[in-house]
Amino acid sequence: MNSDIKSNRATKAKIMVLLAPLLVATIGLGACQNGIGARNKNKAPVYIERPVEGLYNDARDLFDRGDYAEAVTAFEEVDRQHPFSEWSRRSVIMAAFSNYKQAKYEDAIAAAQNFVSLYQGNPESSAYAYYLIAICYFEQIVDVGRDQRMTELALASLNQVVQRYPTSAYARDARLKMDMARDQLAGKEMEIGRYYLRQNQHLAAIIRFRRVVDLYQTTSHVPEALHRLVEAYVSMGVMEEATKIGAVLGYNYPGSDWYADSYGLLTARGVHPNVRPTRERGLRNPFKKRERPAATASLESARGTAIAPAN
């Protein structure tokens, strides 16, 4: 009996030794299959290639509904599946415009710059890409109390549109916005000049006001800049220069409040300009800005008015 039990045990042990590699292989195979399944679940969705017209129309529908973020993805898919096609050209610029509509200016600028590098040979579309870059900078202009780097970039980019494509549909709007950008930069110079004048740093103030007169002659800040120059020179006792600038102010802007103030300053010092102001002097605060310049006032209303791409 004991010998039979020992024999059975020995037989079972041999069987287990023989089956062990098979069990290990089976467990390993199951683990591999589970790993593959997990990886498949984590894979990004597979995009099935579709006719380009359908892809583009779906993207355009998203844009027209105001789903700009989804529209960007859809337009990018058109370009991914059908690169360098006519539909790709449209999609790249529409993706840029969709980013602009979301105020994602950096993404819009990057997309427009990419368009220029790919489709430089298409004048109409390239004109729009340059225009959109300029508008993205223009939309980021801040008040004159802050850094005006974006204003400078906007002005340079708008000027590029006008210089490269002077007869394009976008050049006219670019010129209008250039005037606003110049007015903004002139306003910054005035802000700094007034500060120096309040601190009795007359020479520093004169430099700023002269920059306005010399560089931004067509802006609404010029009459005040001329008056501030008269103020600064009168304060320094340089009456000859104050009289000359007062004459320029009187000749060009005889009906402005600023000339009325300069006329009062000069006559109080015994100088009698040839041109009498057509308005009564009404200055109460020497550093008060009487009215918001027209160009600056329209800056806010000009935001969000970019022309849509023609496609």
* Tokens found for residue 295: 């160009």
For residue 262, being part of any structural domain is answered with yes
Q: Shortest CA distance to 149 belongs to which of 137, 133, 139, 136?
A: 137
Residues 163 and 250 both lie in one domain: no
Q: Is the Cα dihedral 64, 67, 69, 73 positive or negative?
A: negative
CA distances from 20 to 9, 12, 14, 28 (A): 17, 12, 10, 12
Of 133, 166, 181, the position where a domain reaches its end is 181
Residues 156 and 259 both lie in one domain: no
Q: Shortest CA distance to 176 belongs to which of 162, 190, 165, 163?
A: 162
Domain count for the chain, please give it. 2
Please give the chain's pLDDT, 311 residues, in tens.
444 444 554 444 444 444 444 434 444 434 444 444 444 445 554 556 678 888 999 999 999 999 999 999 999 999 999 988 889 999 999 999 999 999 999 999 999 999 999 887 777 889 999 999 999 999 999 988 899 999 999 999 999 999 999 999 899 999 999 999 999 999 999 999 999 999 999 999 999 999 999 999 999 999 999 999 999 999 999 999 999 999 999 999 999 999 999 999 999 999 989 888 886 555 444 445 444 444 544 777 777 778 888 76
Q: Shortest CA distance to 287 belongs to which of 212, 220, 190, 207?
A: 190
Of 181, 199, 217, the position where a domain reaches its end is 181
Residues 220 and 293 both lie in one domain: yes
Per-residue pLDDT reduced to its tens digit, 59-70: 999 999 999 999
Q: Any idea what the CATH number is for the domain that residue 285 is in?
A: 1.25.40.10
Q: Identify the domain containing residue 72 by its residue range.
A: 52-181
* Tokens found for residue 122: 């298409």
